[in-house]
Structure 1
Amino acid sequence: MMVPAALLLLGALTALLAPRLLALARWPEREPVVALWVWQCVVGAVLLCLGLSMLLSAAAAWQAVRGRLFAAAPRGVVDAYGLGAAGGPWAAGTALVLAGGALWTAAMLAREVRRARALRRAQGSDLLVRSPLLPGEDPAGPRLVVLEGPRPDAWWLPGPAPQLVVTTAALGRLKGSQLDAVMAHEQGHAAARHDWLLHCSRALARGFPQVPVFAAFEAEMHRLVELAADDVASRRYGRLTIALALVGLNEDRGVFGPCATPQAHVPQRVRRLLSAAPRLSAARRLRLTALATLVPAVPVLVAVVPGLSALA
């Protein structure tokens, strides 16, 4: 039972320390795409620790699981994990609790997918009512939908046939290439499939509201995907253009006032664009990406090292 306990401890340390280290770091503002990958690796490592601990605990508790998991392994490998003796109630209890957590996670993900699909269908139906297809227009193709509306707004409706929606007020407010910059921003979301990142993070945060790492994961996904899409637009049309477009779309919502609002991230995005902090060097981006990729490999190494040592 030493390896399952070590995996649980490793998962707890990763969940506790990684968000704090990332919160102290300055580079995620400059490299949101790398930061997105780092967060995915951290959360993946935590889930991997729990999953591997569940498997090994179940193997220690029940001979049927142990026989299937180590069917092709020599006897010495089983002995190296200390699974020969009965695991006792601790092993069975740990395996059952972790299995329950895995089933709950799957249920939360399935619920989030169903919710997202239902919302997308409702929004798509509403768009068809407010902006019907033109004669000869392909319903399965991407659309630029212009809606009559007094509030400047633009958003991307994901799905098999992505649709960019812009209100008439936004068309009147955005000048020059600002509309193109907004479209590039929304297309950046669609190309990177940011909607899936948001769905997964929301499912984990709502399924386990008492786990801080999942709450931080959801908050950072919402922030970082917007920064990443801002960078996509700024590389094509310039930082000033997308910053002015953000101001034009949000200045009537009170987000630039002294009071906190749900869109409080917008002024931060504008300041970031106008400050024009340089990107990290390619070598440093590569190092950060490689280090993040190694994080999920650590629990795998912890899980297989006893078996490899027995075979050596």
Structure 2
Amino acid sequence: MIVAAVLFAYAALLCTLAPRLLRGAGWAERAPRLGIVLWQVLCASALTAAVLAGLALTVPTVRVGSDLAQLLQACVMALTAQYASPGGAAAGAAGAVLALAVLGRLAWCTGAALVRIRSERREHRTVLDMVGRADPVRGVVVLDHDEPAAYCLPGRHRRTVITTGALDALDDDQLTAVLAHEHAHQAERHDAVLAWAQTLAVAFPRIPLFHDAEAEIDRLVEMRADDVAADRSGRLTTAAALLAVAGGRTPAVALAAGGSTAARRVRRLIEPHRPLSRLRVAAGSLTAALALAVPLLVVGGPAAAATQLNYCPDGTPAPQVTTMH
């Protein structure tokens, strides 16, 4: 019971307090890739803690002997002891419902999101093949449209799309920056990162952590792509390129250089660049690693300790059942 309670408390703290501490954090804008990783890790850690809490209530931990028969006997006796009492049976049933509900909801929403995304991308590729024309020199699909816009359609059959309006509005250096931005989205699979965050927000809409993670990751992946483009073409050139394509309309299934966050990103590129120190990056990486490890350590500690003890030592007439609750 103690392990389950600790895991529940840990998951609750992550889901409620972590968004308040991280939402709009200034350091994340200085190291967007680290910010993306930390938000993803916190979401994964909260989910893992919730599932393991349910399993901890459902399946007791037993002391393990060296003999397989003794191990099986210990497992049967531990389960029998737990479910023999009304309280133990209720706790086990509640734990099973929690674990299955979380995993089932996540699997359903993930499957639905994958089907929807695949269908939308396929339909948009068909449209692009019909109305766009390939530019093999630049490696893009050009659409005849006066509105300046640039975006990438990710996936196995990826496309980088740019309008004739954008080609007219951008000089060569700015065009290079825009294309570098879109290629960064594709190379770092930002579509998968965003799809996972959006799936969690849809699956568990009332949990602040997942709601805020979707918004923050959406903002940070664009900043990360901006940084890649700035490394290639310079920060001011990238800022000018973003301004030129900021108002362009793009399909929801695509990743665009413009968008609603463009104004803040332009200001960020114009301001003096202040990357995080190596010490703070290391501290953030360590925090992410610890957050991911905590649920496993909470469960693994008692389980590891149990393996060091004989459940049915020689000469003992009957094994003694212990649980990790």
After TM superposition, the score normalised by the length of structure 2 is: 0.81
Instruction: Give the aligned partner of residue 321 of structure 2.
Output: none
CA distance in 2, matches of 1:246, 1:145: 19
Instruction: Give the aligned partner of residue 119 of structure 1.
Output: 120
- Contact 2:132 2:144 (8 Å CA) reproduced: no
2:142 aligns to what SS in structure 1?
A: strand
CA distance in 2, matches of 1:46, 1:233: 33
Instruction: Give the aligned partner of residue 307 of structure 1.
Output: 303
Instruction: Give the aligned partner of residue 98 of structure 2.
Output: 97
CA distance in 2, matches of 1:233, 1:176: 13
In 2 relative to 1, CA 19–212 (structure 1 residues): closer, same or farther, beyond 3 Å?
A: same
Cα displacement (A) at 1:5: 2.2
Alignment partner of 2:207 out of 204, 211, 217: 211
- Tell me which structure has the larger Cα radius of gyration: 2
Alignment partner of 2:152 out of 153, 156, 175: 156
Deviation digits for residues 41-87 of structure 1, max 9, x if unmatched?
A: 101110110121222222159x9xxx9xxx899599979x9994332
In 2 relative to 1, CA 296–76 (structure 1 residues): closer, same or farther, beyond 3 Å?
A: farther
1:142-221 to 2 correspondences below 5 Å = 143-221=139-217
CA distance in 2, matches of 1:269, 1:74: 59
Cα displacement (A) at 1:143: 4.3
1:59-138 to 2 correspondences below 5 Å = 59-60=59-60, 84-86=81-83, 87-131=88-132
Matched, 1:23 2:17: no
In 2 relative to 1, CA 133–246 (structure 1 residues): closer, same or farther, beyond 3 Å?
A: closer
CA distance in 2, matches of 1:76, 1:41: 38
Instruction: Give the aligned partner of residue 275 of structure 1.
Output: 271
Q: Which amino acid aligns with 1:122?
A: E
2:172 aligns to what SS in structure 1?
A: coil
CA distance in 2, matches of 1:143, 1:175: 17
CA distance in 1, matches of 2:240, 2:41: 34
1:3-22 to 2 correspondences below 5 Å = 3-22=3-22
Structural RMSD (CA):
3.0
Matched, 1:248 2:244: yes
Cα displacement (A) at 1:274: 0.4
Cα displacement (A) at 1:183: 0.2
Cα displacement (A) at 1:153: 0.2
In 2 relative to 1, CA 287–211 (structure 1 residues): closer, same or farther, beyond 3 Å?
A: same
CA distance in 2, matches of 1:309, 1:13: 27
Q: Which amino acid aligns with 1:144?
A: V
- Contact 2:134 2:141 (8 Å CA) reproduced: no
Greater shift in the superposed pair: 298-307 or 28-37: 298-307
Q: Which amino acid aligns with 1:48?
A: T
- Contact 1:147 1:168 (8 Å CA) reproduced: yes
Deviation digits for residues 151-171 of structure 1, max 9, x if unmatched?
A: 100001112132110000000
In 2 relative to 1, CA 41–237 (structure 1 residues): closer, same or farther, beyond 3 Å?
A: same
CA distance in 2, matches of 1:210, 1:250: 32
Q: What 5-or-longer segments of structure 1 have no aligned partner?
A: 254-261
Deviation digits for residues 150-195 of structure 1, max 9, x if unmatched?
A: 2100001112132110000000011230011000000000010000
Q: Which amino acid aligns with 1:93?
A: A
Deviation digits for residues 1-35 of structure 1, max 9, x if unmatched?
A: 22122211111111112221112642101000010
1:165 aligns to what SS in structure 2?
A: strand
Instruction: Percent identity, please.
Output: 36
CA distance in 2, matches of 1:218, 1:184: 24
Cα displacement (A) at 1:297: 0.3
In 2 relative to 1, CA 229–73 (structure 1 residues): closer, same or farther, beyond 3 Å?
A: farther
Q: What 5-or-longer segments of structure 2 have no aligned partner?
A: 250-257, 309-325
Instruction: Give the aligned partner of residue 292 of structure 2.
Output: 296
1:295 aligns to what SS in structure 2?
A: helix
Instruction: Give the aligned partner of residue 52 of structure 1.
Output: 52
- Contact 2:133 2:143 (8 Å CA) reproduced: no
Cα displacement (A) at 1:127: 0.6
Deviation digits for residues 203-260 of structure 1, max 9, x if unmatched?
A: 111121111111011101110000000000001101101100111112588xxxxxxx
1:224-235 to 2 correspondences below 5 Å = 224-235=220-231
Cα displacement (A) at 1:202: 0.8
- Contact 2:55 2:99 (8 Å CA) reproduced: no
- Contact 1:164 1:186 (8 Å CA) reproduced: yes
After TM superposition, the score normalised by the length of structure 1 is: 0.84
CA distance in 2, matches of 1:132, 1:145: 5
Q: Which amino acid aligns with 2:16?
A: L
In 2 relative to 1, CA 89–158 (structure 1 residues): closer, same or farther, beyond 3 Å?
A: same
Q: Which amino acid aligns with 2:48?
A: L
1:27-38 to 2 correspondences below 5 Å = 27-38=27-38
CA distance in 1, matches of 2:58, 2:225: 43
